[in-house]
Structure 1
Amino acid sequence: MKNMLVLTDFSNNAYNALYYATRLFRDVECRIYLLNVFSENTPLISPNRAKGKNRNLLVQLEEESREGLEKDFHRINLDAPNEKHLRKTISRKGNLPDIVHEIVADREIDLIVMGNTGKTEAIPVFMGSNVINVVKAMPDCPVLAVPREKECDIPFEIAFATDYNRNYDAQVMNPLCFMASICKAAIRIIHINEEGRLSSNQKTNLNTLREYLRDLRHTVHWMPDFSSKTEVINTFLEELGIGMISMIYYRHGFLENLMRERVIKRMSFEVEVPFLIIPQAD
């Protein structure tokens, strides 16, 4: 049985991520933990509910957290009933990455699911700040970021963007292979042609990658190096009608460099398909 942790701030975007996850894993037996984390900096959903009662802020936040979780719990059970899914709620006070790290270890979580942007991120961005913080805090648990308030289909093709500079192993490949297997999706390997030709190390890593994917449909694609790598990826996703994209997160690796691109280059680029991020400790 798979263990899935879904993060929510009770926004439409967060519920959309929960709903997508239940559809994606509809045929998989799994425990789904719905988590809300609050702190003194969390805005009240109903700021006037305790007006004149001089109630403690954290007490109000805890109540709203539990009420919001209960509401989403009943809503998802109505929208997407599934006997294969055991659903539970968790309300916690603290720092989001720290709480997520603790729960992933305690509950042996296989996948974290969250909306790509939350209530405080109204402007389209390549990757939301909460997603980035969770990815950086989790060296060994994949994260699935779902586009905001967008109905996503089960992917028939998954793009895997990589520079071939790191060796591939079972820890980083299993989440991608599992996702492709349950979706019956082909994997489209995308490499941005920065160097002209692959080094001997890159060729070795490519061969290792293809060996891991030998039982799955896959193809290798080379893309020209535009002024912005996000532009390259966006073009690839649109041209091939890709339904999901995946990358491995290494410090100082391809994905981190992508996130560091000058804002002016990537401010208009929003990932419009689910994004599977596979962290790997260096």
Structure 2
Amino acid sequence: METKNMNILLPTDFSDNSWSAIVYALKLYANEPCTFYILNSAHLKVSAMSDMSNKIVKVMKDNAIKELLELKNLAENANANANHEFETILSLEDLKTGIQKAVEKYAIDLVVMGTKGATGAKEVFFGSNTVRIIKKMRKCPVLIIPEDYDFVKPEQIAFPTDFNRFYGQVELQPLKDLAALYNSEIRIVHINAETKLNEVQEYNISSLQSYLEDFEHSFHWMPDYSKKAVEINDFIEELKIDVLAMVNYKHSFIESIVNEPVIKTIGFSPKVPFLVIPD
């Protein structure tokens, strides 16, 4: 069977953090045919534009194009895979719009990005750009790579759920695609808020089992603490998890994170890559 060529979008602001995310993506898909689209947003606010001549704007665009090409060369040289192709995209819109347009135009399967850009504060896990992307991305999954994270084969993938929500083929496909790369085990983690599951939860468990029957998977019950973030970091450590995967639906844990006015108050900073699957 012919392997599908993956289209992967790599947003960059030329920071070390975004380069680490690119390196992770190259290693994750080392054995897969892929086209990597490296995207930079050279967006200027209208107020700034009116004060500048077209000449300055042109210089900024030229600089961004030059940096993109340098980054492309760097990626090609860091990567000896003949199955990989690289393209560059310069967007003159804000990053969120640039990403959304690229996802549609180039039939992107996955966006891989760092947690924060050049100006990210140390104590905040998600930078504001990352939060905006997670909130708005409804077309394809986003894989968020923690700062200074060295590639580890994703042998264990955690998928937390309270079993109250049914997951079908569409939501589970990105999880299965990721697990298929390295025959990863999918660990379904239930944060135990109740002593007994109801009929809906029982049904959703059996659906998950049937959808994941071709994959090694196991179910784990975690005690209910007061803070979900603490539990999630605990089982990442306890089960030696390499990637955390969650579906971003209304009132989900992810939505509660990205809607926090100051993200650090939740104290959520997983030490592993985080796959956000759109609803």
TM-score, length-scaled by structure 2: 0.90
The aligned counterpart of 1:32 is 36
The Cα shift of 1:198 comes to 2.0
The Cα shift of 1:196 comes to 2.9
The aligned counterpart of 2:238 is 239
Tell whether 2:202 aligns with 1:203: yes
The aligned counterpart of 2:190 is 191
Which residue of 4, 11, 15 maps to 2:15? 11
Deviations 1:220-269 (A, max 9, x none): 111112121111010101112111100000122232124456856533x4
| Alpha-carbon distance in 1 for matches of 2:60, 2:79 | 28
Matches within 5 A, 1:171-182: 171-182=170-181
Deviations 1:153-199 (A, max 9, x none): 11110011112222111111111001001022101111111233222
| Alpha-carbon distance in 2 for matches of 1:265, 1:92 | 33
| Alpha-carbon distance in 1 for matches of 2:264, 2:36 | 38
- Contact kept, 8 Å, 1:39 with 1:58, in 2: the verdict is no
Structure 2 residue matching 1:66: 3-state secondary structure:
helix
Matches within 5 A, 1:74-223: 74-223=73-222
C-alpha distance 2-22 of structure 1, shift in aligned 2 (>3 A): same
**Uncovered stretches (5+) of structure 2, i.e. residues with no partner:** 46-52
| Alpha-carbon distance in 2 for matches of 1:57, 1:197 | 65
Structure 1 residue matching 2:81: 3-state secondary structure:
coil
C-alpha distance 23-106 of structure 1, shift in aligned 2 (>3 A): same
Percent same amino acid among aligned pairs? Answer: 36
**Residue range with higher mean Cα deviation, 246-255 or 195-204:** 195-204
Structure 1 residue matching 2:154: 3-state secondary structure:
coil
The aligned counterpart of 1:224 is 223
The Cα shift of 1:128 comes to 3.0
- Contact kept, 8 Å, 1:125 with 1:266, in 2: the verdict is no
| Alpha-carbon distance in 2 for matches of 1:68, 1:271 | 30
Letter in 2 for 1:256: E
- Contact kept, 8 Å, 2:146 with 2:273, in 1: the verdict is yes
Letter in 1 for 2:119: T
Letter in 2 for 1:254: F
| Alpha-carbon distance in 1 for matches of 2:135, 2:182 | 27
The Cα shift of 1:11 comes to 0.5
